[in-house]
């Protein structure tokens, strides 16, 4: 079952993007727009607090937008990572111990994104990836209602980078489970090595006992 996150609307008049990844998201939104006028209308709706709570699930988001007496429903999403991409992202996060702590603390380290790109995993989107639909049935997407929601998502992604990962199909719990599973073989291997080393040590002491039958057995344990 998909994991849903109900996210509160952005406060009216809130500041624009502050983080480097928030600004990158804004650039993608601007690339996606067909006209500057649509961007301006979308910003006006977002800053006026006309975008309702946003529901995010793997690869998808949905929100309501009020304009005058109308309430429109906007949905959209990003292409999800395939299994190979999800595995590569997990490896990148696991490569440095501080990366998962940074994500949990609300930070998206630039080296993490760079190394993910080197592994063939694009986390931050370009304009053409931002697919949207709106019940206003526009002649082209994204309409200004969808642009309002996309701009609202900037604040949410800045506050919690896991929102971005969820839109790529990798939720917080999913990534944590993958990291745990990735660490298990190493832990198991270390245990096996410890057992083997202890067995070799005991075998060596038994050989000592064979050479000296009168020796004490205490030193074997």
Q: How confident is the model at residue 192, as a pLDDT?
A: 45
CA distance 150 to 14: 15
Cβ-based neighbours of 132, under 8 Å, separated by 6 or more = 74, 75, 76, 141, 142, 143, 146, 149, 150
Residue 218: is its pLDDT beyond 60? no
Instruction: Give every CB contact of residue 23 below 8 A, 6+ residues apart in sequence.
Output: 17
Per-residue tokens: 23: 């600004």
C-beta separation of 156 from 11 below 8 A: no
Q: Which is higher by pLDDT, 1 or 145?
A: 145
pTM of the model: 0.77
pLDDT band at residue 189 using 50, 70 and 90 as cut-offs: very low
Neighbours of 205 (CB within 10 A): 13
At 7 the pLDDT is 57
* pLDDT for position 138: 87
Distance of alpha carbon 50 from alpha carbon 67, whole angstroms: 7
d(CA 131, CA 173): 25
The angle that helices 144-159 and 20-32 make with each other, rounded to 10 degrees, is: 170
The pLDDT of residue 120 is above 60: yes
pLDDT in the model for residue 91: 95
- Six token digits for residue 11: 């406060």
Handedness of CA 31, 36, 39, 40 (dihedral sign): positive
pLDDT of residue 201: 55
**CA nearest to 1, candidates 210, 173, 187:** 173
Closest CA to 105 of 160, 157, 170, 56: 160
Sign of CA dihedral 142, 144, 146, 152: positive
Inform me whether the pLDDT recorded for 204 exceeds 60: no
pLDDT bucket at 214, cuts 50 / 70 / 90: low
Q: Evaluate the omega torsion of the peptide bond into residue 142 and state whether it is cis, within 30 degrees of 0.
A: yes
* Long-range Cβ contacts of 114-120 (<8 Å, 24+ apart): 116/88, 116/89, 116/92, 119/88, 119/89, 119/91, 119/92, 120/85, 120/88
């Amino acid at each position: 079952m998909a994991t849903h996150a109900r996210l509160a609307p952005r406060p009216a008049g809130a500041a624009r993007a502050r983080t480097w990844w928030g600004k990158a998201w804004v650039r993608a939104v601007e690339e996606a727009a067909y006209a500057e006028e649509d961007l301006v209308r979308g910003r006006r709706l977002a800053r006026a607090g006309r975008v309702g709570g946003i529901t995010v699930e793997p690869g998808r988001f949905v929100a309501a937008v009020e304009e005058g007496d109308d309430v429109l429903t906007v949905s959209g999403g990003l292409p999800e990572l395939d299994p190979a991409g999800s595995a590569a992202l997990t490896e990148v996060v696991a490569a440095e111990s501080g990366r998962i702590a940074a994500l949990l603390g609300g930070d998206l380290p630039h080296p993490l994104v760079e190394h993910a790109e080197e592994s063939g995993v694009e986390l931050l989107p370009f304009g053409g990836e931002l697919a949207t639909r709106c019940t206003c049935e526009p002649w082209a997407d994204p309409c200004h209602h969808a642009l309002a929601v996309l701009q609202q998502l900037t604040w949410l992604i800045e506050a919690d980078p896991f929102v971005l990962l969820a839109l790529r199909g990798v939720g917080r719990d999913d990534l944590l489970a993958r990291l745990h599973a990735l660490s298990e073989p190493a832990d198991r291997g270390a245990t096996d090595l410890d057992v083997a080393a202890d067995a070799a040590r005991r075998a060596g002491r038994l050989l000592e006992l064979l050479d000296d039958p009168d020796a004490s057995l205490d030193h074997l344990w």
